[in-house]
């Protein structure tokens, strides 16, 4: 049994405030197992109950897991006074309170970003202990040279003396590389390339663990992750 208050369930799943939810229930707009219920505090088992509101049967999800193709110019944050955030881009049918990005991409970085309301899940993905590799495609202002492979493999020491973990560097074509890192220090990739004298012109995250950025997900688009995709993240 997974008992929860009726008003809490409706408010979280339909993204309606608790006070409005209570009013809706009082007005007899909600059915539980086919019967109108007017008590917002009713405890129901979310695993077995059938809740209807506005003719819609609610399929309860404790948490939501969203994959986004982050566009340029948008902040990796839940909210900001003046600038647009990735959570602002979540469409109403996926939106709920408590959403936040799993880790951060710089404002000018594009690509795979997860958004969720599940703190434990986010911790598992971000924690360096889990060793989940993030893959980035990088457009540089120069070409990578042979000696850089070893430098990245050994672990770059950033300008402030911070030692990075071993990173996997691959040359894709002239001025373009793919890099895999298993940690997420501030501006890490830009700073790593800075150490070897290269500037980053474009940065795109193309994979998280074994989960690739879907090719049919356009810039700024998002959708729910499937269960299989969720597992791919941990399949490094």
Binding site for ligand URA (CB under 6 A): 105-106, 109, 187-190, 203
- Residue 44 or 203: which CB sits closer to ligand URA? 203
CB of 106 to ligand URA, least distance (A): 4
d(CA 235, CA 208): 9
- Residue 25 or 189: which CB sits closer to ligand URA? 189
CB of 225 to ligand URA, least distance (A): 20
d(CA 141, CA 199): 5
Tokens read off for 70 = 């982050």
- Residue 102 or 203: which CB sits closer to ligand URA? 203
CB of 201 to ligand URA, least distance (A): 12
If you count them, how many residues does the chain have?
236
d(CA 231, CA 5): 30
Count CB neighbours of 98 within 10 A. 13
Helices 6-14 and 18-26 pack at an angle, to 10 degrees, of 120
- Residue 30 or 189: which CB sits closer to ligand URA? 189
d(CA 148, CA 30): 63
What is the SS3 assignment for 31? strand
Residues serving a catalytic function are 106
Roughly how many angstroms between the first and final C-alpha of the chain, as a whole number? 34
CB of 38 to ligand URA, least distance (A): 50
| CA neighbor of 125 nearest in space, from 12, 3, 208, 20 | 208
Tokens read off for 25 = 């229930």
CB of 187 to ligand URA, least distance (A): 4
Is residue 215 exposed (0-12), middle (13-18) or buried (19+ Cβ within 10 Å)? exposed
- Residue 54 or 163: which CB sits closer to ligand URA? 163
Tokens read off for 74 = 């948008």
């Amino acid at each position: 049994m997974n008992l929860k208050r009726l008003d809490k369930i409706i408010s979280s799943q339909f993204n309606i405030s608790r006070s409005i939810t209570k009013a809706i229930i009082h007005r007899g707009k909600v059915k539980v197992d086919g019967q109108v219920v007017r008590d917002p505090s009713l405890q129901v088992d979310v695993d077995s109950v059938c809740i209807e509101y506005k003719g819609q049967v609610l399929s309860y999800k404790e948490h939501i897991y969203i994959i986004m193709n982050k566009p340029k110019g948008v902040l990796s944050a839940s909210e900001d006074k003046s600038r647009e955030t990735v959570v602002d881009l979540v469409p109403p049918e996926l939106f709920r309170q408590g959403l936040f990005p799993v880790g951060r991409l710089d404002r000018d970085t594009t690509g795979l970003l997860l958004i969720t309301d599940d703190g434990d899940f986010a911790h598992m993905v971000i924690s360096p202990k889990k060793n989940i590799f993030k893959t980035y495609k990088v457009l540089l202002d120069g070409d990578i040279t042979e000696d850089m492979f070893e430098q990245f493999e050994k672990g770059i020491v950033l300008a402030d003396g911070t030692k990075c973990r071993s990173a996997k560097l691959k040359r894709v074509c002239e001025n373009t590389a793919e890099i895999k890192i298993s940690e997420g220090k501030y501006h890490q990739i830009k700073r790593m390339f800075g150490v070897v004298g290269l500037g980053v012109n474009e940065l795109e995250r193309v994979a998280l663990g074994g989960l690739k950025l879907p090719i049919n997900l356009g810039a700024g688009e998002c959708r729910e992750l499937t269960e299989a995709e969720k597992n791919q993240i941990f399949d490094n």
